[in-house]
Amino acid sequence: MKKRKVMVIDDEMDFLKVIKLNLEKTGNYEVRTLSTAKDIIPEVHFFEPDVILLDMLMPSIGGLDACEMLNNDPLGKSIPIIIVSALDKDQDRYLAYKKGIIDYLVKPIEKKDIITAIENALKYKR
Amino acid sequence: MENKEKSKGQLIKDLNFFKKIGIKQLEKLGVRYKKVDEKLMASEGQLHKVLATIREGVTFSDKTGYFYVYNSAMEKLTGYSLEEANACSDFISFIYPDPKDRQMTLQGIAELLEKRTNREIETIITTKSGQLKNVRISSSLISHEGHDLFLSVYFDITEHKRAENRLLVLNKTFLEFEANPDRNISRLTAVLGESFGATCALYSRLEKGMLRVVGQWNMPVDFSPVDKPDGHICYDVIRRGEKIAIIQNLQESPYVQTDPNISRYQLRTYIGRAVRRGENYIGSLCSVFQRDFIPSKDDIKVLEIVASAIEVEEKRKQAEEALQEAYTKLKETQSQLIQAEKMEAIGRLASGIAHEVRNPLGIILQGVNYLEENVYSEQKDIFEMIQTIKNNIKRADNIVRTLVEFSRAGELNLKAEDINSILENSLVLVRHKINPANIEIFKELALDLPKVLIDNNKIEQVFINLLLNAVEAMSGGGKLFIRSYLIQLNDSKSDAAGRNRNYFKLMEKAVVVQIEDTGSGISKESLRKVFDPFFTTKGSKDGVGLGLAVTKNIIDMHKGIIDIESEAGKGTKASIILKIA
3-state secondary structure B509-576: EEEEEEEEECCCCCCHHHHCCCCCCCCCCCCCCCCCCCHHHHHHHHHHHCCCEEEEEEECCCEEEEEE
Give dist(CA A82, CA A119) in Å, integer: 11
B425 in helix, strand or coil? helix
Give dist(CA B565, CA B575) in Å, integer: 8
Give dist(CA B133, CA B124) in Å, integer: 5
Which residues are CB-neighbours of B394 under 8 A, at least 6 positions away? A108
Residue B546 clears pLDDT 80, i.e. is over it: no
Query: Which positions in chain A touch B401 (Cβ < 8 Å)?
Result: 88
pTM of the model: 0.54
Contact criterion met (CB < 8 Å) for B366 and A90: no
Which chain B residue's Cα is nearest to A119?
B496
pLDDT value at residue B499? 39
Average pLDDT on B419-442 reads 85
Band (B51; pLDDT cuts 50, 70, 90): confident
Contact criterion met (CB < 8 Å) for B496 and A18: no
Per-range mean pLDDT, top range of B38-42, B180-184, B337-341, B547-551: B180-184
Which ipTM was obtained for this model? 0.89
- List the one residue out of A113, A111, A114, A112 whose CA is nearest residue A54: A114
- List the one residue out of B161, B123, B159, B154 whose CA is nearest residue B139: B154
Of the partner residues A87, A94, A104, the one whose CB lies closest to the CB of residue B561: A94
Give the pLDDT confidence of A90-104 residue by residue, as tens digits.
788 888 888 889 889
Q: Is the backbone of residue A82 left (phi > 0), alpha (psi -120 to 50) or beta?
A: beta
Residue A124 clears pLDDT 80, i.e. is over it: no
Give B454's strand partners.
B415
Query: Which positions in chain A touch B407 (Cβ < 8 Å)?
Result: none
Which chain B residue's Cα is nearest to A95?
B563
At B133, give phi and psi (nearest 5°).
Answer: -135, 135
Band (B433; pLDDT cuts 50, 70, 90): confident
B497 touches chain A (CB under 8 A): yes
Residue B38 clears pLDDT 80, i.e. is over it: no
Contact criterion met (CB < 8 Å) for B366 and A19: yes
Give the pLDDT confidence of B370-417 residue by residue, as tens digits.
998 888 878 888 888 999 999 999 999 988 888 887 777 666 788 899
For chain B, what percent of residues have pLDDT higher than 70? 86
Query: Which positions in chain A touch B355 (Cβ < 8 Å)?
Result: 57, 86-87
Contact criterion met (CB < 8 Å) for B492 and A107: no
Residue A60 clears pLDDT 60, i.e. is over it: yes
Of the partner residues B355, B363, B577, the one whose CB lies closest to the CB of residue A14: B363
Domains in chain B: ranges and CATH: 2-156 (3.30.450.20), 162-324 (3.30.450.40), 332-409 (1.10.287), 415-579 (3.30.565.10)
Domains in chain A: ranges and CATH: 4-118 (3.40.50.2300)
Residue that wins the pLDDT comparison between B290 and B144: B290
* CA dihedral of residues B493, B498, B500, B504 (deg, nearest 10): 0
Average pLDDT on A4-8 reads 97
